[in-house]
Structure 1
Amino acid sequence: MSKTVEFYFDLGSPATYLAYTQLPKICEQTDSQLLYIPILLGGVFKATGNASPATVPAKGHYMFQDLDRFAKRYGVPLKFNPHFPINTLMLMRAVTAMQLRHPERFLAFIDCLFKALWVDGRSLDEPATVGAVLTQNNFDPNEVLALTADEEVKAALKTNTEKAVQRGVFGAPSMFVNNQLFFGQDRLDFVLEALS
């Protein structure tokens, strides 16, 4: 039976972006399956009483220095987004919609949005910017926007988020291997160990 990593993610987290760049390689290396589970980080924070490390100025400053170190180690681009923190409700509904309605384009969709946020530093709080990014990447922004209003899509994101909290998720990225929780992109060595 194939091993699985359940990857609970929200686009608005730079640490999640870094985990996203590394998990496919880890899964390929260990012949494991990567399951992407979109959640709303704001909903997780509200339910658990947690908050972004960026809300503590000294911790936030350190966090971005540390993430930069990891990006260099991984050999991936990372740029601090000047618009951080981003309200990701609409984005994560769009991600959920693509996973449900267009699974064949799901990875290309999240890839272009992660890149827009954490490589290009785009303001994905602004619908016009989101529309431009989607158009540049051959997605129809009107179709995507319409999907974010779909009741089934809204319910799916809400359910994912609630189930994540029930499983003990308090932030992103969170990964499960055999029901064991690993939190943070700096715990990928433990994910690899659990899969090996």
Structure 2
Amino acid sequence: MAEPIDFYFDFASPYGYFASLRIDDLAASHGRTVRWHPILLGAIFKVTGMKPNLQQPLRGEYLTHDVGRIARLTGAPFTFPDSAPVNGVAASRAVYWLTDAHPEQAKLLARRLYHAHFAEGRDIGPAETVAEIAATLGHDRAAVLAALQDPEVKDRLRAETDGAVGKGVFGSPFFIVDEEPFWGWDRMEMLDRWLATGGW
């Protein structure tokens, strides 16, 4: 069976949000599955020396224009959140809490969190908000809050972010298929063609 596609994203990334709406269907059309990896770009920026896009002159203004344009192009629900760029630590920990035992539930939670943030404009930074959103999927609120403080869950997020850096990941979304890296929502067409042709 073909190897899964690794999908790296930060919950603060609107481009990651748009990618999350499509990546599983794209993969399935080529007989692939997807491993979802929430990461923390803040930690990665310490390696690359970059700053968040919204904090960069010119680039920040372009991003706010561009993501609205993508939403109109794709028909994706979108509201630019006042809390951007959000701190995705709690959201990412919640996903890893579920990943090993319940990978599909982990993906569903990631989608729900992304929707709350970029479709509804909610601030998903607070742990209470993450637990509230997880509860809509049937997870016990107290168990979620406890998981967010679990040292193993915290270590998992750190290890995943460090591991992403080790594989050359520096942005969101970032895809790796058969060791071939693709960065950005606008590389999904190239990724689709790569999968269809076997590369070039």
The TM-score with structure 1 as length reference comes to: 0.91
Instruction: Give distance in 1, aligned partners of 2:132 and 2:161.
Output: 28
Secondary structure of residue in 2 paired with 1:36: strand
Q: Within the alignment, does 1:17 sit opposite 2:17 as a pair?
A: yes
Partner residue, 1:169: 169
Instruction: Give distance in 2, aligned partners of 1:108 and 1:33.
Output: 14
Partner residue, 2:129: 129
Following superposition, the deviation at residue 186 of structure 1 comes to 1.0
Instruction: Give distance in 1, aligned partners of 2:80 and 2:10.
Output: 16
Instruction: Give distance in 2, aligned partners of 1:131 and 1:94.
Output: 8
> Which is bigger in relative contact order (C-alpha 8 A, separation at least 6)?
1
The verdict on how the C-alpha distance between 1:76 and 1:172 changes in structure 2, with shifts beyond 3 A counting, is: same
Partner residue, 2:97: 97
Aligned pair count? 196
- Runs (4+) off by over 6 Å: none
Partner residue, 1:8: 8
Instruction: Give distance in 2, aligned partners of 1:3 and 1:127.
Output: 34
The verdict on how the C-alpha distance between 1:151 and 1:126 changes in structure 2, with shifts beyond 3 A counting, is: closer
Letter of the structure 1 residue corresponding to residue 107 of structure 2: L
Instruction: Give distance in 1, aligned partners of 2:37 and 2:71.
Output: 23
For residues 117-156 of structure 1, what are the structure 2 equivalents within 5 Å?
117-156=117-156
Percent same amino acid among aligned pairs?
Answer: 33
Following superposition, the deviation at residue 73 of structure 1 comes to 2.3
Residue ranges of structure 2 left out of the alignment (5+ in a row): none
Residue ranges of structure 1 left out of the alignment (5+ in a row): none
The TM-score with structure 2 as length reference comes to: 0.90
CA contact (8 A) 1:6 1:36 kept: yes
For residues 174-189 of structure 1, what are the structure 2 equivalents within 5 Å?
174-189=174-189
Instruction: Give distance in 2, aligned partners of 1:157 and 1:12.
Output: 15
